[in-house]
Structure 1
């Protein structure tokens, strides 16, 4: 779910909160992207018989070339790891050009962690065998697109970065944020914290943003060097071309941080559910994209220079046959009319009119929840579970009704109008809400090698204290971690940790891997 680039007036008319909820539901039901790239499998090389003389001559020539190439690389680009003024100034060679350490982070919206176990993503799994994969990555609450993409960018929980839902009311500005309206979604006043691209730009690095959800600039007027705004139904092949265009730029204009976003899997999940044929077909397509991106970097001899980090923002659960919880049965007709603002669907963040008896209405909701604990929970900012990290911001509605998996909050008048067959936004501890993490590049290879050296055996057995599991000789699965750790990973890979902004991540979390 991303901001639209359709023409919108600068001042939005007032919207009924029920209309907004139905509008958001309907916008989820979008067709998926297409991608027509072929699977470029290379044919096996045929063996040839060589004479001993040919072998000796060829070996001598190769040794000579290797010595010459190594000397030239050292003279022209310096020894890998040697700094030239600063860590970010280190130049590496792919054999023909100088490159600085580069990170490409790609978000596949709605790629549930266990989608990788369906046997439909051989290329992502191949990358994880060469690099790293997490068992899962925990999204922030609420498990929605905009709060989590900004958490990935800033390392902050929603209560800290201010994007507390895809749509919500701000009592300070008396305005509504809606993910699909440029007038709000691109207004930097909504977006708190420092995104990784701002940190990188401040450190003098070039950055590029390919449709990542968020504003084109922050309150400090910082912006990525390159910015491609959101546009729906852009084929993945075109996005790959754009990434490679940036990779192929001259050294001083080439981005060291590239962020890219792909929504087609999330759109398929909403439209047809997480177990549908369309989701599986789209999963194959995004997996092919991962292969093509890796192969393109490999063809440029960049896999030892460029780190690729694939992430998702949240998972997806089946809502094709949800059981309704009728809020009007709990609040009554007058209580329903007393709702002034409703935020955060599929949850209900409720703000009542000033003349309403909010305490009485809250009591009715709490008692109904106690009678049906398997269906929904009701929280205030004071009773919100600490693990949600979702109470310390005035944009969070004073009353939050959170449905359990398998249930929807609605009214008799609305029913399930606009309800998608797949959804997210639920408790971020739920298995179906977990996101994925796969990385490949010098970081992941070195991290794995480091743990192999520490192990008594070349295979890493399951050891919780080490944070790893081994499912085969060359597959390593990290223990689950929170997505607020991603900011510090990218900043560390870029060599600018001394410029990092404060985050909600764990201090030193990546030291065990880097």
Structure 2
């Protein structure tokens, strides 16, 4: 599909407008003008030309295991190995009994599925899939814990300071352009999206790819597009998304994608609207669980569970914000009205990235914030690029504003004029160390069998990580320890055999992710 000739424009939005938009039906941008207002399609996308980027920075245990070919080869040679065709070569052809397939990866993002939602007793199918495969205690999102930064982190293996999507809305001082997640002219502008997504890496390896509404541009700066591309449209039934994924899987051999990506926002929308503990969230959670079951059962029916690795992820969690303690940034013990009027660009939300109209004002109001005697000073932190927590990897990019006010859980930044109007009852965007911000990871397929076999084998003593997770021998459930979501890019590259085509984040890439000989 090509871009619409005249994409629908939307006006710039303040933090107030952004938070109000979280409650609207069009919670994400809707690119559908007449040329797109049609059923889901398998029409291939165009390819012209746009950057190369990078790879993942750190390695969690299970992915390091997969990347270190010595362990995989040792397991495949061991008598404990009982799973067929676990080669990590993307070119290896397998049969499901009636048709030939190449190694395939299907990654599904369920927006806002907090890690501990799986313990509510409402997701029996996802839990059953995790028992057949594996589950992580949680997956740690990047900071800020927002939808667009984290979906691009999953795609590229990069933190926000490297992939450039530093919030759902921000200003770029180099281009003097504003990015808004729900505005096509920016959300589809490839200049905002740095790094190399996994589908571009796969394209370089000659692999067919398919993207079903995953947040991001239809093309990168290098001109790479998914082979099949279905753009975002709100309120698409889960059944239609299931049909589209299966239609791709059922394509003829030479047209069938090996990497499929899909996105579902309904749980996040419910969490914003009514809060993470609400009946609506529980009902929506049960619905996405049924979708996961139907998708997995469809793979079982096609005898593809030894061929297709299915990975369910989320981008972040959700916390209750129905009764936050409000911190008014225009009060005299914060910026004051004059200080707020000196702000020329405000990025992000619920955190605030501030750019002032002069360096003098920046220094003055930074000092005022740092020495604030606000009665709720315990509810927020003030950072510059030089004082940001290093674990956030949120300092080394021009798009990151020089001053940030970051609220803690149970607190919200606002102004006297805005108050709590438009605030959602559930939100995210807070410190990624907060457990309520953590995402989920559930997987089943050939690679999960490798991990479980190695864990219970004599090779487990050689595992290259200290915390090996928890394994129940009674029901063969394996729950991995928490790991950063930037690991997923490296995992998919290994599973598809595309690691030789992958870009590297920095000099540590080769050390953390040595290529299998």
- Which of the five TM-score ranges fits, normalised by the shorter chain? 0.7 to 0.9
SS of the aligned residue for 2:202 comes to helix
Equivalence for 1:53: none
CA distance in 2, matches of 1:193, 1:105: 19
- Kept in 1: contact 2:86–2:447 (CA 8 A): no
- Kept in 2: contact 1:32–1:282 (CA 8 A): no
Asked if 1:374 corresponds to 2:378, the answer is yes
Which range moves more in the overlay, 248-257 or 334-343?
334-343
Within 5 Å, give how 1:279-358 maps onto structure 2: 279-329=281-331, 330-354=334-358, 357-358=361-362
CA distance in 2, matches of 1:389, 1:456: 32
CA distance in 1, matches of 2:496, 2:413: 44
- Kept in 2: contact 1:169–1:343 (CA 8 A): yes
Equivalence for 1:411: 415
- Kept in 2: contact 1:369–1:376 (CA 8 A): no
SS of the aligned residue for 1:297 comes to helix
- Kept in 1: contact 2:86–2:446 (CA 8 A): no
Within 5 Å, give how 1:39-50 maps onto structure 2: none
Which protein shows a greater Rg? Answer: 1
Alpha-carbon offset, residue 450 of structure 1: 1.5
- Equivalent of 2:123, from 121, 141, 162? 121
Alpha-carbon offset, residue 449 of structure 1: 1.1
Equivalence for 1:72: none
User: In the comparison of the two structures, how many residue pairs are matched?
Assistant: 453
Alpha-carbon offset, residue 431 of structure 1: 0.6
- Kept in 2: contact 1:120–1:284 (CA 8 A): yes
CA distance in 1, matches of 2:347, 2:212: 28
Equivalence for 1:106: 108
Asked if 1:163 corresponds to 2:165, the answer is yes
- Kept in 2: contact 1:272–1:421 (CA 8 A): yes
Within 5 Å, give how 1:93-492 maps onto structure 2: 93-329=95-331, 330-354=334-358, 357-368=361-372, 372-454=376-458, 465-471=466-472, 473=474, 474-492=476-494
CA distance in 1, matches of 2:289, 2:511: 32
- Kept in 2: contact 1:112–1:435 (CA 8 A): yes
Distance 1:370 1:382, change over 3 A: farther
- Kept in 2: contact 1:81–1:90 (CA 8 A): no
Equivalence for 2:23: 29
- Kept in 1: contact 2:85–2:306 (CA 8 A): no
Distance 1:209 1:172, change over 3 A: same
CA distance in 2, matches of 1:5, 1:419: 33
Which range moves more in the overlay, 197-206 or 466-475?
466-475
Distance 1:311 1:189, change over 3 A: same
- Kept in 2: contact 1:32–1:267 (CA 8 A): no
Distance 1:97 1:8, change over 3 A: closer
SS of the aligned residue for 1:368 comes to coil
- Kept in 1: contact 2:90–2:495 (CA 8 A): no
SS of the aligned residue for 1:106 comes to strand
CA distance in 2, matches of 1:21, 1:316: 18
- Kept in 1: contact 2:107–2:261 (CA 8 A): yes
CA distance in 2, matches of 1:392, 1:491: 26
Alpha-carbon offset, residue 190 of structure 1: 0.3
- Kept in 2: contact 1:347–1:409 (CA 8 A): yes
Alpha-carbon offset, residue 399 of structure 1: 0.3
Alpha-carbon offset, residue 31 of structure 1: 5.3
- Kept in 2: contact 1:5–1:182 (CA 8 A): no
SS of the aligned residue for 1:249 comes to coil
Alpha-carbon offset, residue 439 of structure 1: 0.4
Q: TM-score, normalised by structure 1?
A: 0.83
CA distance in 1, matches of 2:468, 2:325: 38
Distance 1:466 1:326, change over 3 A: closer
Distance 1:182 1:491, change over 3 A: same
Question: Per-residue displacement from partner, 1:50-82 (whole Å, max 9, x unpaired)?
Answer: xxxxxxxxxxxxxxxxxxxxxxxxxxxxx9468
Question: Per-residue displacement from partner, 1:394-435 (whole Å, max 9, x unpaired)?
Answer: 000000100000000001110011100000000000010000
Alpha-carbon offset, residue 267 of structure 1: 0.2
Equivalence for 2:65: none
- Kept in 1: contact 2:26–2:234 (CA 8 A): no
Which range moves more in the overlay, 176-185 or 373-382?
373-382
Which range moves more in the overlay, 370-379 or 313-322?
370-379
- Kept in 1: contact 2:346–2:353 (CA 8 A): yes
Q: TM-score, normalised by structure 2?
A: 0.83
Structure 1 unpaired stretches of 5+: 34-78, 458-462
